[in-house]
Structure 1
């Protein structure tokens, strides 16, 4: 089993605004760091760029960004998020993103080889918001182990 994750965020300003210039300028470096990290499997990209910032799956919310990725383990994702240079970027999130007021990250186990789609990922996030952490969707703080295939 691999670990999938979704995180979303609403930018403080649209692309091109100086308030988010450092965010966009750092994307290639952060994405390259993810791809070079032990345990990285896959990440969502839009096809035209090396990121997913042009994807806007939340109708009527053009400043909401989405990020989806797959990792070999919870530890691999945790190490990338909190124990790499990504943390320097993460510390600046309040400069680039508005407070969400609700859960904006969900984790779940997937079979190796599965690539989670946008709809599937959003559904996992919504499930976590509605039901709290379960084996279906959880957080780093309330993690579940992979369930054996039935």
Structure 2
């Protein structure tokens, strides 16, 4: 069954601050790698020519909050990209430079074939994970590794 993922972040400084430029510069390249990755199905992008979702205001009144939302064939495909794709790993390694800690910042859940989750649905799943903890309904990579069958 396909898997959806949301990960969120809040910039430590204003989004347009020059300190965030290395992150912004890496987005197109990393997104292009995701688009070509084995198991990739869909990702959220902004309006018009935007190739990322950084301009989408997911939380009213919080311009520094950004959301990444995508759908993958399965958890192993997403995990391979997230943790073994070198360019993505390099960005992950520097996230503390750009983003304040948020818990939880990542949620995974199964979606029906062909379903494209909305930002509202994804934020609800993230809130559910924060409120209730991981379960078969919404989980983390760690929970999935510890509880998968087979």
Aligned partner of 2:98 in structure 1 is 96
Give 4+ residue runs of structure 1 displaced > 4 Å after superposition.
Answer: none
Aligned partner of 1:16 in structure 2 is 16
- What TM-score do the two structures reach when normalised by structure 2? 0.93
1 or 2, which has the higher helix percentage?
Answer: 2
Mapped to 2, the partners of 1:2 and 1:43 lie a distance apart of 13
Aligned pairs (5 A) from 1:65-80: 65-80=66-81
Say whether the 8 Å CA contact 2:44–2:70 is kept in structure 1.
yes
Mapped to 1, the partners of 2:89 and 2:107 lie a distance apart of 18
Aligned partner of 1:124 in structure 2 is 125
* C-alpha RMSD of the superposition: 1.3
Structure 2: give runs of 5+ residues left out of the alignment: none
Aligned partner of 2:111 in structure 1 is 110
Say whether the 8 Å CA contact 2:108–2:139 is kept in structure 1.
yes
Aligned partner of 1:52 in structure 2 is 53
Say whether the 8 Å CA contact 1:8–1:66 is kept in structure 2.
yes
Say whether the 8 Å CA contact 2:15–2:63 is kept in structure 1.
no
Number of residue pairs aligned between Structure 1 and Structure 2: 145
Deviating more after overlay: 9-18 vs 133-142: 9-18
Aligned partner of 1:2 in structure 2 is 2
